[in-house]
Amino acid sequence: MTYKELANLIYPNAKEIIYYETKYPKRNLPEGAIVTRFAPSPTGFVHIGGLYQALVARTVAKKTNGVFFLRVEDTDQKREIENGVTGIVDSLKDFDMAPDEGMITDTEEIGEYGPYKQSLRKDIYQAYAKYMLEQGKAYPCFATPEELEEMRAKQEAAKVRTGYYGVWAKYRNLSLEEMAEKIKAGVPYIIRFKSPGREDRKIKHKDLIKGNVEFPENDQDVVIIKSDGLPTYHFAHAVDDHLMGTTHVIRSDEWLSSVPLHLQLFQELGFKAPKYAHISPIMKNDNGNKRKLSKRKDPEAAVSYYEELGIPSLAVKEYLLNIANSTFENWRRQNKDAKLEEFDFQLNKMSVSGALFDMVKLQDVSKIVISKMTAEEVYEKSLEWANRHDQELVEMLTDKPYSLKVLGIERGNIKPRKDIAKWSDVKENIIYMYDHKFLDNKQEYPYQVINDPKDINKILDLYIEKYYNPEDDKQTWFDKIKALSGEMGYATEVKEFKANPDKYKAHVGDVSTVLRIALTTRTNTPDMYEIMQVLGKASIVKRFEKAKQ
Ligand code: GLU
């Protein structure tokens, strides 16, 4: 019995690997172009850490005019859920990170290196497993779950490493005849890698994020094909990233310790190994303790959370790049209007211990991102969000021309308003500008320094009767508030008030506050001149009538 005969017995119909090697030729890309991928399992949950990895992988590929593809790793069919792929594909689209190749819906894909869904690549894995069997680099293993359990118990009792290796690898040295006999007799088996490694030897690896690392060689005969005929992660990684031409494997650092095994698999398969970049998990400061962002404990671990709050995807990406490379912040300061794609992202500047994620900072970033949007963009995006989450806001935004004016207040100038961090803030921020929301409801007026009803009523009446003119430019408008202040015996300049505090009851700023509160019930609003321009005379008069004490 030869290896070849055994391989034929196991996989009689598998193609020779030359077929696949020809079908998926080396990519024809410019010198230095990097090919990366995002390779999630469709568990139905998209973790912000996954999006972070995808963003890093995509950024690196785009920077070099390379390729970023999406591969769905569904070989663990127990973990799969319905529509798991759709969730991933949609998230990437929402973040404007659609892949160049790979799955684009639950069932469709684009690109020449597919299928991009592992469960559809069974034949390919079996061809490569057969190739390994033919060379004696893999073998069928007949160990039952009970046998493996017993082995583990013995290893634990003897205080040695657990696993299937060396003397413990019971089926590794069966004769080919014995193997064939068992297979013919229908004994269940899986396929294991026959590791050439030795635990007492070290391998050195240069990780693009973690730097130089040293590990013992792998000596575990890991499973490469499971009993359901599908590959394990390790084998699929080697076969897929080889055939798909991945140059840089950018993935979670939970895989760092598997590098010795993966390098060995590439070596034994005769493939050129990719470069690796292992990303540390996103961390959170939990009352002084730095810990991983947890799917179970932290709502912000779910990508869907940001959509629900209405944090624009651009802001989330901007923030993720911010925590990915500490040089980003400085770059942004110097390149305020540059596109994210222009940032010179560096893998080797990523944190080795894990970037700290902070919702408050994310919202600060988001405020700046939104402040740069036009009124039209803010309108469209708020409305899109409101259509999914807030009917009252949809109704407010129905009057588009008016809403554009409201959202246009203090926007498009050098110091645009920064009071919106998320679309769910919009309603609260603008509701007072809508007469049917404002005038028809009871309001509380938190008057401040000037709080005598007589004074308030007089200011409001006098302003309308004598001073208000919708045609006034901003300077004239303000001069008139000063004049009104003077007429009522308040200081027309704050400076003057401070110099002679006993002479005046209040100053022009306090008069403005009365007007502001009467108009909006708020002490803090965007520019009052613009607010009055947008409201118009009829509304202002009604608001003042309502505000009188
Ligand atoms: N499916 C693997 C995971 O979700 C992918 C790891 C990789 O990127 O290679 O952990």
Ligand 1 atom closest to the CA of 73, numbered from 1: 1
pLDDT in tens, 291-321: 999 999 999 999 999 999 999 999 999 999 9
| CA 391 to centroid of ligand 1, rounded, Å | 39
Ligand 1 atom closest to the CA of 53, numbered from 1: 8
Structure confidence at residue 76 (pLDDT): 85
Structure confidence at residue 450 (pLDDT): 96
Protein residues with CB under 6 Å of any ligand 1 atom: 39-41, 73, 237, 251-252, 255
| CA 484 to centroid of ligand 1, rounded, Å | 69
| CA 304 to centroid of ligand 1, rounded, Å | 20
| CA 277 to centroid of ligand 1, rounded, Å | 12
Is residue 343 pLDDT above 90, yes or no? yes
Is residue 196 pLDDT above 70, yes or no? yes
| CA 41 to centroid of ligand 1, rounded, Å | 7
- Report the candidate in 287, 36, 2 with the shortest Cα–Cα distance to residue 133: 2
Q: What letter would DSSP give residue 72? A: B
**Predicted TM-score of the model (pTM):** 0.92
Confidence of residue 36 (pLDDT cuts 50, 70, 90): very high
Mean pLDDT, residues 5-15: 98
Q: Which pairs with CB-CB distance under 8 Å and at least 24 residues apart come from 462-471?
A: 462/487, 462/488, 463/515, 463/544, 464/540, 464/541, 464/544, 468/537, 468/540, 470/532, 470/533, 470/536, 470/537
Confidence of residue 231 (pLDDT cuts 50, 70, 90): very high
- Which protein residue's CA is at the shortest distance from atom 10 of ligand 1? 40
- Report the candidate in 70, 48, 47, 40 with the shortest Cα–Cα distance to residue 58: 70
Q: Could you tell which of 255, 276, 278, 279 is best to mutate to test the pocket of ligand 1, judged by most ligand atoms within 8 Å of the CB?
A: 255
| Strands 67-70 and 35-38, bridge-based pairing | parallel
Is residue 418 pLDDT above 70, yes or no? yes
User: Nearest 5°: CA angle at 365, between 359 and 367?
Assistant: 105
Confidence of residue 37 (pLDDT cuts 50, 70, 90): very high
CB of 49 closer than 8 Å to CB of 293: yes
Domains identified in the chain and CATH numbers: 3-15+122-279 (3.40.50.620), 286-371 (1.10.1160.10), 375-433 (no CATH), 453-547 (1.10.10.350)
Mean pLDDT, residues 267-273: 98
Mean pLDDT, residues 475-504: 95
Angle between helices 537-547 and 453-462 (to 10 degrees): 160
- Which protein residue's CA is at the shortest distance from atom 5 of ligand 1? 39
Percent of the chain with pLDDT over 90: 96
| CA separation for the pair 83, 380 (Å, rounded) | 28
- Measured in degrees and rounded to the nearest 5, phi and psi for residue 298 equal -115, 115
| CA 273 to centroid of ligand 1, rounded, Å | 17
| CA separation for the pair 477, 468 (Å, rounded) | 8
Structure confidence at residue 80 (pLDDT): 63
Is residue 495 pLDDT above 70, yes or no? yes
CB of 542 closer than 8 Å to CB of 441: no
| CA 72 to centroid of ligand 1, rounded, Å | 9
Ligand 1 atom closest to the CA of 237, numbered from 1: 9
Structure confidence at residue 416 (pLDDT): 92
Distances (CA, A) of 114 to 23, 66, 90, 248: 10, 17, 20, 18
Confidence of residue 79 (pLDDT cuts 50, 70, 90): low
| CA separation for the pair 68, 199 (Å, rounded) | 36
Give the mean pLDDT of the chain.
Answer: 96
| CA 278 to centroid of ligand 1, rounded, Å | 11
- Which protein residue's CA is at the shortest distance from atom 4 of ligand 1? 40
Q: What is the 3-state secondary structure (H, E, C) of 495-521?
A: HHHHHCCCCCCCEHHHHHHHHHHHHHC
- Which protein residue's CA is at the shortest distance from atom 2 of ligand 1? 40
| Strands 101-103 and 190-193, bridge-based pairing | unpaired
| CA 252 to centroid of ligand 1, rounded, Å | 7
Q: Could you tell which of 207, 234, 242, 251 is best to mutate to test the pocket of ligand 1, judged by most ligand atoms within 8 Å of the CB?
A: 251
Q: Could you tell which of 73, 209, 239, 256 is best to mutate to test the pocket of ligand 1, judged by most ligand atoms within 8 Å of the CB?
A: 73
Structure confidence at residue 34 (pLDDT): 98
Is pLDDT larger for residue 43 or for residue 161?
161
pLDDT in tens, 371-394: 999 999 999 999 999 999 999 999
Structure tokens at 281: 């998990």
Structure confidence at residue 44 (pLDDT): 82
